[in-house]
Amino acid sequence: MILHSERKQPANWVTLRSTAHYGWLIPFLAFEWVWAWVAYLLSKWSFLEVLEYLGSFSVLVAVVFYFSESGDRVKQRHYQAWQVINTAQGKGGSGGRIEALQELNADGVPLVGVDVSAAFLQGLRLTRANLLRADFSAADLRCSDLERADFTLANLHSANLRGSHLEYVGFSQTDLGDADLNGSNLTGAQLAGATLDGADLSSSDLRDIHWGQIKSVRMANIYEVKNPPDGFVAWALKNGAVQTAPSNQ
């Protein structure tokens, strides 16, 4: 709220000059006296008061427009994120895709069918992401956090998921052939219809995985898996899995 108080009329020059006890003060008093009169006269000009109100009103209008256009800014941000992802499609390296994917997921945007094959995405955080039919084949996802993400029907063939958080991830009908899952946490993962041929599961945590309908585990390495469900190891070996110590041990 703008408050205006009427200024007092400045004293006349003769009265003011008589207060100067030293001659060298007179120029300073004159300077101050002139501007006091300017301020006094302007304070009586209603037009300036109107300008002040208009200035405050313009700020209000700017705030209203800022919030009214917030949806357009979000759409523009999402468009730019998708542009980053699609432009780098099929290329190695990150190319800003880690930040773009995380931003879209944080805004609740489905990442259905996204293609980041062969990308360097180490440390990616996409918890609860909708990655239905996504293509992460040959992508480097080491030490990523993908807890509760949905990879149903996705392509993770030859993906490097070593040391990643994959708790309660949906891998239904997912191609995990030749994927590196060494040391990853697969607690509660859904593997119905998943293909694990040649996958490296050594030292991974298999607590409470849903494994009853796994499609295939031929040549999958289950060396020293942790917390395997009852019957899983025997079933896996019977269906072509192996227990081979990694070459670096």
In CATH, what number is assigned to the domain containing residue 245? 2.160.20.80
Q: Please report whether residue 48 resides in a domain.
A: yes
CA-derived radius of gyration, the chain: 35
d(CA 97, CA 227): 34
Does residue 52 share a domain with residue 117? Answer: no
Count of the separate structural domains present in the chain: 2
Pair 179, 107 in one domain:
yes
Question: What is the pLDDT, as a whole number, of residue 205?
Answer: 98
Contact 226, 204 (CB under 8 A): yes
Same domain, 123 and 163: yes
Q: Are residues 34 and 130 in the same domain?
A: no
Assess whether 27 and 139 both reside in one domain.
no
Query: Contact at 8 Å (CB) between 29 and 36?
Result: no
The answer to whether position 85 is within a domain reads no
pLDDT at site 47? 61
From CA 156, how far away is CA 116, in angstroms rounded? 10
Residues making up the chain, counted from first to last: 249
Amino acid letter, 14? V
pLDDT under 70: residue ranges of the chain: 1-7, 17, 20, 42-51, 53-55, 57, 61-72, 248-249
Residue 231, pLDDT score = 96
pLDDT at 219: 97
- The per-residue pLDDT for 182 is 97
Q: What is the pLDDT of residue 70?
A: 59
Could you tell me the residue range of the domain that residue 248 belongs to? 92-249
| Same-domain status, 57 and 107 | no
Q: Is there a domain that residue 154 lies in? A: yes
- Give the residue among 72, 133, 130, 75 at the shortest CA–CA distance from 101: 130
Q: What is the DSSP letter of 178?
A: T
Q: Does 139 lie in the same domain as 241?
A: yes
Distance (Å, whole) CA 236 – CA 242: 8
Q: Give the separation between CA 18 and CA 23, rounded to whole angstroms.
A: 10
Contact, 163 vs 184, CB < 8 A?
yes
Residue 25 lies in a domain: yes
Q: Is 49 in the same domain as 111?
A: no
Asked whether residue 73 is domain-assigned, the answer is: no
Q: Are residues 192 and 101 in the same domain?
A: yes
